[in-house]
Amino acid sequence: MGVAVHLELYPERFDSAEGRHVGMLLKAFAQLRMHDALRPLATPALERVMTLCQEGRLREEPLESVGTLCMGLLPLARSPQLPRYRVRALQTFDALKPVVEHKIDAYLRQAPAGQALVPGCA
């Protein structure tokens, strides 16, 4: 909980955070079911992710990092303990769609012609 308190006192720390770091932090609190700790972090984290989306900086992150970010945002979108952040989290997911789509397209372009990326899928 010490990290949450520190970030609550110094929310400007999010100003220089990369997407993967925001994702790892949120995902860790979510996995520990520390929704109370997420409350003070939600607004600066969501603002940072939106800024990264608007600046196009998440396009440089690997797909795994974007996936971690999405997993970290999920409790903000659906937890009954965090209803205040639901709309903003869903708007953030919406802003992430072009990033994810770009990454999927890149993976599809890497596959040899006629070959499915997943065995058994055509």
Residue 75 lies in a domain: yes
Residue 62 lies in a domain: yes
Residue 122 lies in a domain: no
What DSSP string describes 64-98?
A: HHHHHHHHHHHHHHH-TT-GGGHHHHHHHHHHHHH
Q: For residue 122, what pLDDT is reported?
A: 47
10 Å Cβ neighbour count for 48?
Answer: 21
Total structural domains in the chain? 1
Q: For residue 117, what pLDDT is reported?
A: 54
Residue 88 lies in a domain: yes
- Average confidence (pLDDT) per 10 residues, the chain, 122 residues: 59 78 87 82 92 91 91 92 94 95 89 60 49
Task: Supply 17's token pair.
Answer: 């955070």
pLDDT digits (tens, 9 = 90+) for 84-111: 999 999 999 999 999 999 999 988 888 7
Residue 84 lies in domain: 2-110
Residue 117 lies in a domain: no
Q: For residue 36, what pLDDT is reported?
A: 80
Cβ distance 66 to 96 under 8 Å? yes
